Structure 1
Amino acid sequence: MTSSNAPRWWRRPWIVPLMLVAGAFLAFAVPPYLTFDPAESRLEPPPGNDFYYPLLVAHVLFGTVAMVTACFQVWPAFRAKYRRGHRITGRIYVFAGALPAGLVGLYIGWHTAAGPSVRVANLVGSVLWIAVTVIGLRMARQRRFADHRRWMSRSFALSMSIVLSRVINIVATIVLTPQIDTTFGGSEALMKYSAVSIGAWGGPLLLLVLADFVLERRKAPKKPSGEPVTSPAPRRQGRPAAASR
């Protein structure tokens, strides 16, 4: 199904950069897990835990599905022209991406080796991702499409937060490295845990704030350009004149 009123992709200049960033991140992050070799993992499996690595691979693959389909979900031209495709990719995003990735993320987050702050951040992020996705799905089934878009925008923000978290982690590592001998008492491991914690909390929080900021701007009524500003009529002073008989 197509629509002649569908917005052109060049009127949404953030679509192409978004897809490029998502593609670059996935090209960097996913291949080591396609070998199914724990030695290639970017996260160190806890010793003696045989479930961690297979579930980590599942989390990465489900997350990949979520990121790819999410890009199409927020693409206005695709949503307007291909409504059936939007519904199909939406179901894939929910049932083969966000929900299973979030559920598996609870286990991965609980067993992280990056310390208690990162553990709590991962658990909170997974719970929020599951919750806003379920609410967004429920809104769609109730045909409350405006609410559906708002909640799925938050779900999209959380699905992309892993990218921003990695960027923040790199920046935090650069900033904190000179403080190893002072703030961290010579412990490089403590510095790394702190940098990862900043990224784990900062990525989801910043994107959720940004998503709600954009949503609030879209809700605000826009006044047509060139419309004259009218001031209220001045109140009359004194007693009103008597009506003539």
Structure 2
Amino acid sequence: MTQNLDRIDAPTTPRIRPGRPPEGKKPLWRRPWIVPLFIFSVIYIAITALPYLNRETAPLMPHEGFSLYYPALIAHIGVATIALLTAIFQVWPWLRRTYPAVHRWGGRVYVVTTLIAGALGLIIVPFAPPVGKLGVTIATLLWITFSVIGYIRIRQRRYAEHRRFMLYAFAMVMNNFWGSIIVMVGMQLPFEIDGNYYLEAARWVGWVGNLMAVQWWLYRTAGRPVR
């Protein structure tokens, strides 16, 4: 007979590595990645999003016959920004354990903004260039799917599955960073390569690589208790 381990509430004793404090007891300074990631995200958003605020000079795709394209694009950028910045704090262990109510409400904000931003993204993606369109469509659908499943799992109190799918969703929402890096670095290389290859890679490598990294992390932390 099998048991659903996600529903077991009995306390477990975490494995403690020699020379390291127990999981959940690390001081704030032992997790220095949140602040740099947040700052980097804000800078990235400012660089990539601010040019779209001026409709006269914004690098818009052709959208003849769709008068709501620009408002939908601006709304997508704004709501997706909230989802991205909220997601960073949602994966912060210290905040989740110290202020669980903040984590719960942050999760609700994240899911709502993800659904809105994802829906708007699917509306405007038909006007995107053919290069990379399939990759960005799949990434958007997976982002929405992972976020919804993660929300459903926490409502069912299936904590391990909630953690897994929300980490998958985090991988998706953070994928654009790698795409921009690929394009910027690729265009600087002394090789005569069609820029479309970089643009196509930018729509795939980011989220595929992030998902692989998340799965590696899940395997690595499989023995830790989920609280």
Structure-2-length-normalised TM-score: 0.82
Within 1, Cα distance between the matches of 2:206 and 2:29? 27
Please tell me whether residue 206 in structure 1 is matched to residue 209 in structure 2: yes
Please tell me whether residue 136 in structure 1 is matched to residue 150 in structure 2: yes
Within 1, Cα distance between the matches of 2:50 and 2:192? 34
Match of 2:104 in 1: 87
Work out which of the residue numbers 17, 21, 24 in structure 1 matches 2:43: 24
Work out which of the residue numbers 111, 119, 127 in structure 2 matches 1:111: 127
Match of 1:228 in 2: none
Moved more, 50-59 or 130-139: 50-59
Match of 1:179 in 2: 192
The alpha-carbon deviation at position 174 of structure 1 amounts to 2.6
Match of 1:98 in 2: 114
What root-mean-square deviation, in Å, do the aligned CA atoms of Structure 1 and Structure 2 show? 2.0
The alpha-carbon deviation at position 66 of structure 1 amounts to 0.8
Within 2, Cα distance between the matches of 1:43 and 1:163? 20
Work out which of the residue numbers 14, 31, 39 in structure 1 matches 2:33: 14
Contact 1:172 1:198 in 2 (8 A): no
The alpha-carbon deviation at position 220 of structure 1 amounts to 4.3
Contact 1:6 1:80 in 2 (8 A): no
**Who wins on radius of gyration, i.e. which is larger?**
1
What SS does the aligned partner of 2:191 have?
helix
Bigger relative contact order (CA 8 A; separation at least 6): 2
Match of 2:73 in 1: 56
Within 1, Cα distance between the matches of 2:68 and 2:77? 14
Gapped regions of structure 2 (runs ≥ 5): 1-23
Match of 1:147 in 2: 161
1:93 partner letter: Y
Contact 2:61 2:127 in 1 (8 A): no
Structure-1-length-normalised TM-score: 0.76
What SS does the aligned partner of 2:183 have?
helix
What SS does the aligned partner of 1:30 have?
helix
Identity of aligned residues (%): 35
Aligned length: 202
Gapped regions of structure 1 (runs ≥ 5): 181-190, 222-245
